[in-house]
């Protein structure tokens, strides 16, 4: 595919899982520079996949559960060394299972800092360059049902954080739209084996109306749609990628 001249993307939490496939997929689509963040797992496999597609790859270690000033400094360093970025795909978002009455403050902080604060800090880091360029694309990940605040027994803090994230993204979308920047969300569904491509996923059954497991390529398709340069009139949108599954189910939750 012809290289997309000048397009650059930051994909957070892309050492493994869905985000790793998305980062490599965007490189294959023609993004010239693909930067990723990682926390503990080595990013080398993802970097190799990105480079194999002909893009410039880089990685910055960031713990999105650390002190806010530490995260902001790491993000600023990433933007300075590897940016500016016209696209942000924020895939960081920890999940914990616990009934609300048994959850502790540490779980509360992990869910809200890891899902909401992380997106806010990442967006703040890339927005100045996007605003200056008059162009930007931001995509983050909710949870199946988060746009409607659907109850999720056993996942109460995670669900609350993801609903808060959707609210944050929709407000941000309204605030930056005049600068040519769009902000949208994707709700992944039953995607348990996150390294599967679509062909492999079609061989596995799953408890959703389509009847097969989801794949990183299914989510990548939604990311592609939102980050396209011509997609300037669609913002503040939440798109479920769930195989038709409606609302969260404890046994069908994304990781």
Omega within 30 of 0 (cis) for the link into 84: yes
In angstroms, the Cα distances linking 68 to 78, 95, 114 are 15, 20, 11
Domain range list for the chain: 4-189+228-242
Average pLDDT over the chain, rounded to whole?
A: 92
Cα–Cα nearest to 152, from 140, 139, 143: 143
229-235: list long-range contacts, CB under 8 Å, 24+ apart. 229/4, 229/7, 229/135, 231/137, 231/182, 232/180, 232/182, 234/182, 234/184, 235/173, 235/177, 235/181, 235/182, 235/183, 235/184
118 touches 89 (CB < 8 A): no
Chain segment 147-183, per-residue pLDDT in tens: 888 888 888 899 999 999 999 999 999 999 999 999 9
Q: What is the pTM of this model?
A: 0.93
Count of beta carbons in the 10 Å neighbourhood of residue 88: 26
Count of beta carbons in the 10 Å neighbourhood of residue 165: 25
Within its chain, how far is the Cα of 40 from the centroid? 18
Question: Any idea what the Cα angle at residue 17 is, between residues 245 and 77, rounded to 5°?
Answer: 125
Within its chain, how far is the Cα of 131 from the centroid? 21
pLDDT value of residue 249: 57
By CB atoms closer than 10 A (0-12, 13-18, 19+), residue 192 is middle
Which residues of the chain have a pLDDT value below 70? 1-5, 248-255
Of 3.20.20.70, 3.40.630.30, 2.60.40.10, 3.40.50.720, the CATH number of 4-189+228-242 is: 3.40.50.720
pLDDT value of residue 243: 85
Rounded to whole angstroms, how far apart are CA atoms 205 and 212? 4
| Tokens describing residue 186 | 């994707």
Cα–Cα nearest to 112, from 125, 127, 101, 96: 96
Count of beta carbons in the 10 Å neighbourhood of residue 239: 19
57 touches 51 (CB < 8 A): yes
Collapsing DSSP states into helix, strand and coil, what is residue 95? coil
């Amino acid at each position: 595919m012809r290289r997309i001249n000048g397009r650059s993307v930051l994909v957070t939490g892309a050492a493994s899982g869905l985000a790793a496939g998305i980062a490599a997929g965007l490189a294959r689509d023609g993004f010239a520079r693909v930067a990723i963040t990682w926390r503990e797992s080595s990013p080398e496999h993802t970097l190799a996949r990105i480079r194999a597609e002909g893009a410039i790859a880089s990685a910055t270690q960031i713990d999105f559960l650390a002190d806010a000033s530490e995260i902001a400094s790491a993000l600023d360093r990433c933007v300075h060394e590897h940016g500016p970025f016209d696209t942000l795909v924020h895939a960081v978002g920890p999940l914990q299972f616990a009934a609300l009455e048994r959850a502790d403050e540490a779980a509360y902080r992990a869910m809200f800092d890891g899902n909401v604060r992380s997106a806010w800090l990442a967006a703040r880091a890339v927005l100045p360059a996007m605003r200056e360029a008059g162009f930007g694309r931001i995509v983050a990940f909710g949870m199946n049902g988060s746009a409607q605040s659907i109850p999720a027994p056993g996942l109460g803090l995670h669900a609350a954080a993801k609903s808060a994230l959707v609210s944050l993204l929709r407000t941000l979308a309204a605030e930056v739209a005049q600068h040519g920047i769009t902000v949208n969300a994707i709700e992944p569904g039953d995607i348990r084996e996150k390294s599967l491509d679509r062909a492999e996923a079609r061989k596995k059954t799953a408890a959703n109306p389509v009847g097969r497991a989801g794949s990183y390529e299914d989510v990548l398709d939604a990311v592609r749609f939102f980050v396209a340069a011509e997609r300037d009139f669609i913002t503040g949108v939440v798109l479920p990628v769930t195989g038709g599954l409606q609302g969260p189910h404890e046994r069908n939750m994304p990781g």
